[in-house]
Amino acid sequence: MNITTPNETIQVTLGERSYPVWIGRGLLDDHARWRAALRGRHALVISNRTVAPLYLDRIAQGLDGLRWSPFLLDDGEAHKSFANVGLALEALATLGATRDACVIALGGGVVGDLAGFTAACWMRGIDFIQMPTTLLSMVDSSVGGKTGVNLPAGKNLVGAFHQPRAVVADIGTLDSLPAREYRAGMAEVIKGAAIGDEAFFAWLEQHAAALAAREETALVQAIATKVRYKAGVVARDETEQGERALLNLGHTFGHALETAGHYTTLLHGEGVAVGMLLAARLSERLSMSTPSDTQRLQRLLNATGLPTTVPSGYDPEQLLALMRLDKKNTAGTLRLILWRGIGRAEIVSGVDEADVLAVLREAV
């Protein structure tokens, strides 16, 4: 077995709840490393029917001596549901899980969000470990403790802040990740740069080809840079009282697109890509940024193979109605993440719906 020490370890600093994010190849097999984060005798491994056949065995070998069971979701965003949290909680009950039990999330962001929320609910909160297996979950969803599920009314409307005990990002798992999913993960990497790191954005422009080819040195650097950036934001504003909302760049539009498409048309990362571009266009319309910034963002998204147009069939009025349910809004006003150019995102309250609608109408 090829076990390596992590290429990168990034600490999310939250006092007693601080935790490491290990990034490297072969980490799933480094049982001693992640097993040390398990405290009790019970573990529920939440995964899905695509990922489990590929990687569950490697986890199982590290769970010797524990009472544990797998809980497998069907694949897809539609299964990040309240009903499945109920079933996962029943699985913990069947296991006889006590308060020192641990939930292990093995999969992408859908599995991670649902597993984390399950852990947050069982006996009012037990440990969980993130083992992200998609690029998106490595660079974003496994870090920061946002957990939850969707409702038919909208994305992530139910959830809790609940931090993992450790994040085990074995980049070897990306070898089996389909190209479209890999590109979707890149959207959340680009987002981090677009929000707050112009130098990283320029680096991504220069390394777009190497990243598209999954060249490992560039890939580890991209993952680590994004995780380091997010870990810093989370450490300063864990529960999104201020700065953390910036991590939502593109998401008010993106979540509306995902929901309107019933989670089957656009992947989350694709929705974020299109959403960032719409946010950039709105910023331009409000004279906050220049067309050249928008073009630069569009070029990088296109170079990565991400969509930058709204697929046909969307209704601007319906999208606006969905945007009104976004968690950042306060009574009666839209609160959006806009920007003043690459690396300079801003929270803007009281955005005029007429401007949003105009941008949506131009896009569909």
Ligand X SMILES: O=C(O)C(=O)C[C@@H](O)[C@H](O)[C@H](O)COP(=O)(O)O
Q: Distance between CA atoms of 213 and 218, rounded to whole angstroms?
A: 10
Pairing of strands 102-107, 334-339: unpaired
Q: Distance between CA atoms of 99 and 87, rounded to whole angstroms?
A: 18
Which of 167, 164, 158, 166 shows the shortest CA–CA distance to 85? Answer: 158
Q: Distance between CA atoms of 108 and 338, rounded to whole angstroms?
A: 27
Backbone angles phi, psi at 255, to 5 degrees: -60, -40
Q: Find out whether 12 is annotated in a ligand binding site.
A: no
| Catalytic residue set | 124, 146, 188, 230, 240, 244, 248, 251, 255, 268
CA 142 to chain CA centroid, nearest Å: 7
Least CB distance from residue 341 to ligand NAD, whole Å? 24
CB-closest chain residue to ligand NAD: 109
Backbone angles phi, psi at 9, to 5 degrees: -125, 125
Pattern 59-98, ligand X, x by CB under 6 A: ----------------------------------------
Q: Find out whether 309 is annotated in a ligand binding site.
A: no
Q: Find out whether 188 is annotated in a ligand binding site.
A: yes
Please, which of residues 156-175 interact with ligand NAD by CB under 6 A? 156, 173
HSE-CB of 282 using CA atoms within 13 angstroms: 31
Amino acid at the residue 333: T
Name the token pair of 16.
């007693």
Q: Find out whether 146 is annotated in a ligand binding site.
A: yes
Q: Which residue from 207, 327, 335, 344 is in contact with ligand X, where contact means CB under 6 A?
A: 327
Interface with ligand X, residue 188, by CB under 6 A: yes
Under the rule (CB under 6 A), what is the footprint of ligand NAD?
48, 50-51, 54, 75, 77, 80, 107-111, 113, 133-134, 136-137, 140-141, 144, 146, 156, 173, 176-177, 181, 184, 188, 268-269
Site residues (vs ligand X, CB under 6 A): 140, 144, 146, 156, 188, 240, 244, 247-248, 251, 327
Q: Which residues are annotated as a binding site for NAD(+)?
A: 75-80, 109-113, 133-134, 146, 155
